Chain A
């Protein structure tokens, strides 16, 4: 019994890690209808930026500030310079553009940081395992669970309870009307994209001690993230939250109970869910 409890906890920790990734991607799509295929590359850049910052300053926590800030600024510039001219065109153009950006970033990172696998140690204090349910459990994973839950709460409050959140929601509902009310909608969208990129950067720092960083981790990550948002429902915060937890648990129990098909298990679950709910678990809105 404790074995399954532990596995459930493993699944929860992995799910929260997925949520950090999926939140940014889903937010950007939900508010701007931009499918950002460079999200995995943002994640990778965040991890590399954190790596360099830790080498420079020796502090994980400074890196956890620098990486999201850096990616936020990068995201803002990218949206302003490249994405903005494409809003009046089809989704396909945005997909091609962001996919192209992903390839460019991938090669730039390989050139700058090299081809070897690199890894970030958890911060002091969170780098040990603690006794739990009769065995040892990493304190870092407990931290990831708490952080994921706190972030989900903060995002939900920010969107539903603040003036900024109201402006963003208004912009999504009716762009022209919001502009007529004197709100600079371009700035709001730029800010949302930057925030989504910053979340990817944060995910990069947080996941690096578990996942490691290397060329290829960007697309590897993008695929899992896309599975999560498709299962949860593209563009909703609750969708990416519950989708992440579901995929985290499904992956963990798949590997435990049916190891022979561990590789394809989450795809089978995804296919089954999409058969019943084609828009994902929480993707109720018709578009």
Chain B
């Protein structure tokens, strides 16, 4: 925390100088030469590219923010913090899982810090709250988590790119697979909030279309402590399989309690990948064994890029990477690749947008590309199962649902 505060302050000082320079139609202004002395190289004179990073560092999603930040640091370090010949600097802010705070911070990043683009956003509520400010100010936003569908549909904006996923993208293709491979009848449960209900709706759409029968739907409130009443309701339906959405402490509680009630053994459980991701899987441990989940990445995904990424992350931060870290890593790469294409020019928004749309590279998750229509990532969705491999409990990837694009 201390290190972060210092960093921000130091960058603020630098930014005060550079901000002045930007105002003075390019070239070293009087203010800048006072700060840096004479003989400033041309690249420095243009100022660094300022990236505003807005993620959660506190409360329930604090770890997500840390993962995203660490992975971005890892990538920026690997390219010496430069893109298109310009130095990259960042200002980091905490969205505090409060849409109002997020909106305030975004305005601060745009108006006071004059950042060239913004990345981050953990919570969908924050993403929706800042959408109009981003759109109207024509600020480029590279979303590295928030997965609400609307950001790709009714509330999409040419200035918003999403590196992460939509709730539809993860859950919809799995419904048909579930019908074919897991069960014909299912009980559905999810934490009762936007992302949870969206995920269940997306699953149901393709599951029912394939001929599947929904035995019942149960929606416990978010941040629920005791799942017993809901688990007993699911037991009563006596389903062959279940599909669920929970995350964070909810996921740990739901799975631990389901396991204690024997549900993980008596039915074939599955759920959107976040339920058994690296941020919660160590806490779930053996209680999560056997659970199937669709997601766009897995720690043990076997490709050279992922091996390099997960090894470097582990070596540097002494913990395993998570899907959130992957998203931070790719967000940083997307920004750098786009800057390389524009030669570091961030002033021409149309050119920057075009550069972003055409970013393609081999990501740890597989081939990376944007959908030019929605600016949302097109990616492989994998089917994983929690299994014990020697002494580790990990998500083993054993099938793929193919390349999935949100319909928009």
Query: Contact residues of A with B, CB < 8 Å?
Result: 3, 6-7, 10-11, 13-14, 17, 115-119, 121-122, 127-129, 135-138, 140-141, 209-212, 214-217, 220, 224, 251-253, 255-256, 259, 262-263
Contact = CB atoms under 8 A, between A and B. Distances in A.
Contacts of B260: 122, 127, 129, 138, 140-141, 209-210
A212 B220 contact: no
Interface stretch (B247-255, B325-333, B372-380, B397-405): B247-255
A214 B220 contact: no
Contact of B226 (A14, A215, A253): A14
A116 B283 contact: yes
Contact of A129 (B233, B236, B253, B261): B261
A116 B228 contact: no
22 contacts: A7-B229, A10-B226, A10-B228, A11-B229, A115-B63, A115-B66, A116-B63, A116-B282, A119-B285, A122-B260, A129-B261, A136-B235, A136-B266, A141-B260, A210-B257, A211-B253, A212-B256, A212-B283, A252-B228, A253-B229, A255-B230, A256-B233
Contact of A262 (B66, B221, B257, B287): B221
Contacts of B60: 214, 216
B59 interface: yes
Contact of B285 (A3, A121, A141, A224): A121
Given A116-B282, A129-B261, A252 B226 contact: yes
A101 B226 CA distance: 27
A210 B226 contact: yes
B302 interface: no
B232 interface: yes
A135 B239 CA distance: 13
A41 to B, nearest CB: 17
B137 interface: no
B249 A214 contact: yes
Contacts of B280: 116-117
Contact of A211 (B225, B236, B284, B286): B225
Interface string B58-73: 0110110010000000
A217 B249 contact: yes
Nearest to A14: B226
A10 B285 contact: no
Interface in B365-389: none
Contacts of B283: 116-119, 212
Contact of A115 (B62, B256, B284): B62
Interface string B94-112: 0000000000000000000
A210 B253 CA distance: 7
Nearest to A138: B260
B77 to A, nearest CB: 23
B232 A259 contact: no
Among A119, A210, A220, the one with the most B-chain Cβ atoms within 10 Å of its Cβ is A119
Contact of B261 (A118, A138, A212, A255): A138
Contacts of A216: 59-60, 249
